[in-house]
Structure 1
Amino acid sequence: MRVEDGFQPIPFSEENAYTEDPVLPSLLKRVLPASVFQEVNSDLARLGLDVVTTIRALSDSAKCFPPTLVQYDQWGRRVDDLQTSEGWRELKALSQREGLPAIFYERKYKEHSRVYGFSKMLLMVGDSNEIFCPMSMSDGTARVIELFGTEEMKKDVFPRLISRDPKVAFTSGQWMTERPGGSDVSLTETTATSSGKSSKYGPQYTLNGFKWFSSATDSEVSVALARTGSLQEGSRGLSLFLVPLRLPLIRALTDPVPSPISNNILVHRLKNKIGTHILPTAELSIDGAEAYLVGELGKGVKSITPVLNITRLWSAVGSAGYLRKCLAIATSYAKQRSIRSGTVLLKDAPAHVEQLASVNVLYRALAHLAFGVVGLLGKVECKCATEDELRRLRMLTPVAKAYAAEKASVGMEEAMCALGGAGYMEENGFGRSIRDALVEKIWEGTVVVLALDLTRFAQDPASIKAFVSWANSIIGSCPFALQQKLSPTLAIVKKAIEELPSCFSQPLKPLIPRPALMLVGAIASSVYLLEHTIWAYNTSEPTKDLDIEVFQRWVREGGVEADIQTVIRAKTDSGERVNLNSALVFGGRGKSKL
């Protein structure tokens, strides 16, 4: 039989990524003022159609041409010519034309600008080939310059980082990771020596060192940590610098592009990664690069913190966005694929729909968590946040990043399996989405690293009090009739909240940080879902009954009770589990009381 003969599967087709999304339109209707929602709603509907047509087609073509590095020309001269595809460059330009990250700094919609801009990112990220890695760092660098930069940085560099015009726009890298430390920057080897000169951008330094993991190597600038104090000072001896990748930094559009090594930055090699293949990630030798101090000397970690916080939220929304795409594919497939001799569509098979429903509930929980924290960032940047909201943003930023990355990857695999063997085919996009999304579990901090970050902050009683007060206030705002209906589910959330403060009390149990982070994520996502449910109930939204069901399923079936038990076990462990863990992993008999 020829392939053209016999049964022909009907290809599924996705509809508008925004208007068919189970979360975003309703979420935005709740959190945005009516006038703002009306304006951005039409723009997002336009983008939602572009995502499944032109953007996806561009992404599919771009993936075929990963970056390459030509280190030497035919005469043996070092050139470090980093070659990226036209598709990669067009994806970058498309993002800039869409207003990422411009929307955040134009602040047309004031504190709601962050929610609007990240809505675009959520829709696009699954078909972006990780272009939002440099966009996120450009966003973070823009914020650092806005807060700490010199007037000339604000005049020359800042407008380019937030430009909608790809011809003049800059992107930025962020260079922290070195061989001795990974996420731990206290052993940073790169040094910064004052040149004794004062450039137009401020105090000029010379950088020497090796950055082991530098994404966005094709950017125009980067922010980098370098040591201005002694090694014994650890992270307290670090300062932050703005580094041009080529000199001169500012030039006319008609001027020739300077040599890639004009600022003494050499590309040692490109990284061979599991995913994000089209993203040029490299190891860099810095051999006397010109750089400019940003912020105070010796305050590098504090100065770069806005970059980390912003990129972590890009990561959180990115995880939810990758899950969105996978769920959309699986849902569309269920509307086309028939079973039982072609008599029943998958969408009418209860067991199959049950599987999709669990992924749908997960996506809703992660999206509400991520955008809840994004909304806090918008308030803080526009100086309209309360002190408690500021504390909650600081507490939930590492949580949203870690929790979304941890949960989304499982949901993506479930969505892939919903297509059976067809899901395992590279053409449908599952493979690239899952590989690219896995980096979110590592980039800008693993779950354990972020759990330790949360623990440091949450040990301040004012911080945990701000979070608990917020959670209880949302529960308290639940109308009596709805509260009666949700009583068993609310009891679980209240139990989780009760367990939380003692997680961070001294002496801190050694196994508590990770379970505590997961519990905070479970509580926060549940409370944000509850907040949405209360709104839908009070305004008699058509989806109110479904929103009630989503909240109840997430709390009862999403693992909240298991998170409570894991925290209790970590609190009560006498050290026996620590000892047995070591024996399990590294060998030995262990010392059990059994």
Structure 2
Amino acid sequence: MRVEEGFQQTPYTEGHPYFTDPVIPGLLKRLLPSNVLAEVEDDLNRFGNEISTTFRSVNKLTGAPKLIQYDNWGQRVDDLQTTEGWRRMKALLQKEGIIGIFYERKHREHSRLHGFAKILLATGDSQSLDCPLSMTDGSARVLELLGTPALKQDIYTRLISRDPEVAFTAGQWMTERPGGSDVSRTETIATPAPGSKSCSYGPKYTLNGFKWFSSATDSDIALALARTGPANEGSSALSLFLVPLRFPLLREPGTPRLSAITNRIFVHRLKDKFGTVAVPTAELSLEGSEAYLLGQPGHGVKLITPVLNITRVHSATASVGYLRRCLAIATAYSQVRAIKGGSQLLQDTPLHVAELAKVSLVYRALIHMLFGTIALLGKAECGVATAEEENRLRLLTPAAKAFAAAKACTAMEECMVALGGAGYMTETELGRMIQDALVEKIWEGTVTVLSLDIARAASKPGTLDAFVAWANTVLVSCTPEIKLALESALDTLRAALDDLAPACATPVPPLVPRPALFLLSHIACGAFLLEHAIWACKTNATSHRIDIDLFKRWIEEGGMAEVVLDVRRARQAQPQRLEEDRDIVYGADAGPTKVSSRL
């Protein structure tokens, strides 16, 4: 039989990424004023069509970068070559106003919702390009807050530009060989430049060190931490610097970009990664590289915080965005794939639909938590957030990042399974998206690292209280219809809230922070889903019965009870439990390890 003969599977069609999505249109309708919603939806309508056509064709041209370290005469050149698809995709996103929308602030605090909605829709079709753009976003915010007039005129305007001919991207260089999230042992040394100690960009320094994980090595600038004080002062002796990746930093449009060697930055190798293969991530050394001090010396960790907060929101958006497209593919496939001898579609098979409903529940919970956090970020940046909202944002930022990464990948695997053998084929891109999404479990902090961050934040007066008060306010605002329909689920959410405060009380037992993060996240998702259900009932939205059921399912079937038990178990764990953990992992005869004297 020829391949053209016999059964031919009907291809699935994903449809418009915005208007066929089960949750984003209704969510934005609640979060945006009507006049803003009209403009945003017009843009998302047009942008969705661009994703389905232009983005998907450019996506196919994107591949791994290549590093040429030496030319044919043996001269060091460090020529970093990215693919045509990578360069064109970057230009497409810059033209779309990512990152421009955030800083033009046409819609004030709602601009964050607009921009992140576009990122969410594009994530599955843009080959992790939001990685460098997220760091560009964070760097723009730092320069907006700290930059000299010259930096704002020359660099900031390029970071937020919609013109690819002049637009800059930025990297963020914190990770070194002694530690990832722990920057206290940073080895890069910053020395005041001899002769000319300052310029219009700020005090001039030279940097010497080794950055083990530098994403977006094809960028124009990077923000880097370097040591301006003695090593025994740890992170309190770190300062923040802007590093040009190549000179001349400002060049005429159309002129070639030179190698990073022009600023004595040497790329030693590109990382061979499990996923995000299109992102040029490298190990590089700074050997007398020129840099400019941002802010006060010794305040580097504090000053780079806006970058971390913003990139964590981008990371959460990537996790949810990958899940969005995987679910769209699985749903579309169920509408054309027939079983039982071709007599029944998967969409008419209750067992199959039930599994897709479970994935959809996770997606809906995550997207409500994500966009609730984004709304707070927009308010904070525009100076209209209350103190309580800023405290909630402090907890929700690391929680949303960690929770989305932890939940999305498992749900994406179920989408792959929903296509059977076809899902395992690379043509569907499900495998690539899962591989790319897995980095979000690590990048900008693992669940464990972020759980410790939340524990620190919750220990500060008023922070956790603001979150609990908000959740209780949502509970109190329930309509009579919701109270009647959800009595048991509401009681479960209240009980979980009662467990949260003791879980975050200091001193926090060693095994509590991680389950406490999951408890906070489950509660946050529940409260955001409930908030939306209340709005849907009050406005008589066509989705209000589904929204009520979604909240009920999240509380009763989403894992809340298991997380509460995990927190209680961790709080009650005795020292013997820690010893047993060590024995299970390393064996009963293993004693405490000593750090090598060479470290």
Question: What interval of TM-score do these two structures reach, taking the shorter chain for normalisation?
Answer: over 0.9
2:183 pairs, out of 180, 185, 206, with: 185
Structure 1 counterpart of 2:139, one-letter code: T
For residues 331 and 161 of structure 2, the distance between their equivalents in structure 1, rounded to whole angstroms, comes to 37
Q: Note the alpha carbon deviations across 1:277-332, whole angstroms, 9 max, x for none.
A: 11100001110000000111100000100000000000011100000000000000
Within a 5 Å distance, the mapping from 1:33-72 to structure 2 comes to 33-62=33-62, 65-72=63-70
Alignment-derived partner of residue 124 in structure 2: 126
Q: Structure 2: which 5+ runs fail to align?
A: 592-599
For residues 481 and 277 of structure 1, the distance between their equivalents in structure 2, rounded to whole angstroms, comes to 50
Shift of the 483–474 alpha-carbon distance from structure 1 to 2, 3 Å rule, reads: same
Within a 5 Å distance, the mapping from 1:183-582 to structure 2 comes to 183-196=181-194, 197-253=197-253, 255-582=255-582
Answering whether residue 146 of structure 2 is matched by residue 148 of structure 1, we say yes
For residues 162 and 521 of structure 2, the distance between their equivalents in structure 1, rounded to whole angstroms, comes to 35
Answering whether residue 165 of structure 2 is matched by residue 167 of structure 1, we say yes
Aligned alpha-carbon RMSD (Å): 1.2
For residues 187 and 461 of structure 2, the distance between their equivalents in structure 1, rounded to whole angstroms, comes to 36
Alignment-derived partner of residue 90 in structure 1: 88
Shift of the 263–541 alpha-carbon distance from structure 1 to 2, 3 Å rule, reads: same
Alignment-derived partner of residue 27 in structure 2: 27
Confirm or deny: 8 A CA contact 1:191 1:208 kept in the other structure. Answer: yes
Deviation of residue 391 (structure 1)? 0.7
Q: Note the alpha carbon deviations across 1:23-56, whole angstroms, 9 max, x for none.
A: 1100000000000001111211121222222211
Which deviates more, 255-264 or 488-497?
A: 255-264
Shift of the 273–107 alpha-carbon distance from structure 1 to 2, 3 Å rule, reads: same
Shift of the 570–590 alpha-carbon distance from structure 1 to 2, 3 Å rule, reads: farther
Deviation of residue 10 (structure 1)? 1.1
TM-score with structure 2 length normalisation?
Answer: 0.97
For residues 260 and 228 of structure 1, the distance between their equivalents in structure 2, rounded to whole angstroms, comes to 23
For residues 557 and 255 of structure 1, the distance between their equivalents in structure 2, rounded to whole angstroms, comes to 58
For residues 279 and 580 of structure 1, the distance between their equivalents in structure 2, rounded to whole angstroms, comes to 41
Confirm or deny: 8 A CA contact 1:580 1:590 kept in the other structure. Answer: no
Residue aligned with 1:70, SS:
strand
Confirm or deny: 8 A CA contact 2:102 2:112 kept in the other structure. Answer: yes
For residues 6 and 255 of structure 1, the distance between their equivalents in structure 2, rounded to whole angstroms, comes to 55
Residue aligned with 2:80, SS:
strand
Residue aligned with 1:185, SS:
coil
Q: Structure 1: which 5+ runs fail to align?
A: none
For residues 503 and 149 of structure 1, the distance between their equivalents in structure 2, rounded to whole angstroms, comes to 40
Confirm or deny: 8 A CA contact 2:61 2:86 kept in the other structure. Answer: no
For residues 77 and 350 of structure 1, the distance between their equivalents in structure 2, rounded to whole angstroms, comes to 65
Confirm or deny: 8 A CA contact 2:61 2:83 kept in the other structure. Answer: no
For residues 49 and 490 of structure 1, the distance between their equivalents in structure 2, rounded to whole angstroms, comes to 40
2:98 pairs, out of 84, 97, 100, with: 100
Residue aligned with 1:225, SS:
strand
For residues 484 and 428 of structure 1, the distance between their equivalents in structure 2, rounded to whole angstroms, comes to 44
Deviation of residue 483 (structure 1)? 1.1
Deviation of residue 118 (structure 1)? 0.1
Deviation of residue 60 (structure 1)? 1.9
Deviation of residue 481 (structure 1)? 2.6
Residue aligned with 2:2, SS:
coil
List, as ranges, runs of 4+ consecutive aligned residues in structure 1 with deviation greater than 6 Å.
none
Q: Note the alpha carbon deviations across 1:501-526, whole angstroms, 9 max, x for none.
A: 11121232110010000111100011
Confirm or deny: 8 A CA contact 2:165 2:254 kept in the other structure. Answer: no
Confirm or deny: 8 A CA contact 1:134 1:171 kept in the other structure. Answer: yes
Deviation of residue 255 (structure 1)? 4.7
Structure 2 counterpart of 1:450, one-letter code: L
Shift of the 453–3 alpha-carbon distance from structure 1 to 2, 3 Å rule, reads: same
Confirm or deny: 8 A CA contact 1:96 1:166 kept in the other structure. Answer: yes
Deviation of residue 7 (structure 1)? 1.0
Alignment-derived partner of residue 81 in structure 1: 79
Q: Note the alpha carbon deviations across 1:113-134, whole angstroms, 9 max, x for none.
A: 0000000000001111000000
Q: Note the alpha carbon deviations across 1:48-82, whole angstroms, 9 max, x for none.
A: 222222211211221xx310000000111000000
TM-score with structure 1 length normalisation?
Answer: 0.98
Confirm or deny: 8 A CA contact 1:489 1:556 kept in the other structure. Answer: yes
Residue aligned with 1:262, SS:
helix
Deviation of residue 460 (structure 1)? 1.7
Q: Note the alpha carbon deviations across 1:339-394, whole angstroms, 9 max, x for none.
A: 00000000000000000000011100000000000000000000000000011111
For residues 455 and 572 of structure 1, the distance between their equivalents in structure 2, rounded to whole angstroms, comes to 17
Which deviates more, 314-323 or 459-468?
A: 459-468
Confirm or deny: 8 A CA contact 2:451 2:513 kept in the other structure. Answer: yes
Deviation of residue 250 (structure 1)? 1.4
Q: Note the alpha carbon deviations across 1:180-204, whole angstroms, 9 max, x for none.
A: 0111000000010001421220100
Deviation of residue 491 (structure 1)? 1.0
Which deviates more, 473-482 or 342-351?
A: 473-482
Confirm or deny: 8 A CA contact 1:15 1:49 kept in the other structure. Answer: no
Structure 2 counterpart of 1:485, one-letter code: A
Confirm or deny: 8 A CA contact 2:61 2:84 kept in the other structure. Answer: no
Deviation of residue 251 (structure 1)? 2.3
Alignment-derived partner of residue 595 in structure 2: none
Deviation of residue 258 (structure 1)? 3.1
For residues 432 and 440 of structure 1, the distance between their equivalents in structure 2, rounded to whole angstroms, comes to 14
Residue aligned with 2:260, SS:
coil
Q: Note the alpha carbon deviations across 1:540-585, whole angstroms, 9 max, x for none.
A: 0000001111111111111111111100111111223212111111
Deviation of residue 150 (structure 1)? 1.2
Identity %: 56
Confirm or deny: 8 A CA contact 2:424 2:430 kept in the other structure. Answer: yes
1:136 pairs, out of 107, 110, 134, with: 134
Structure 2 counterpart of 1:347, one-letter code: Q
Deviation of residue 461 (structure 1)? 3.3
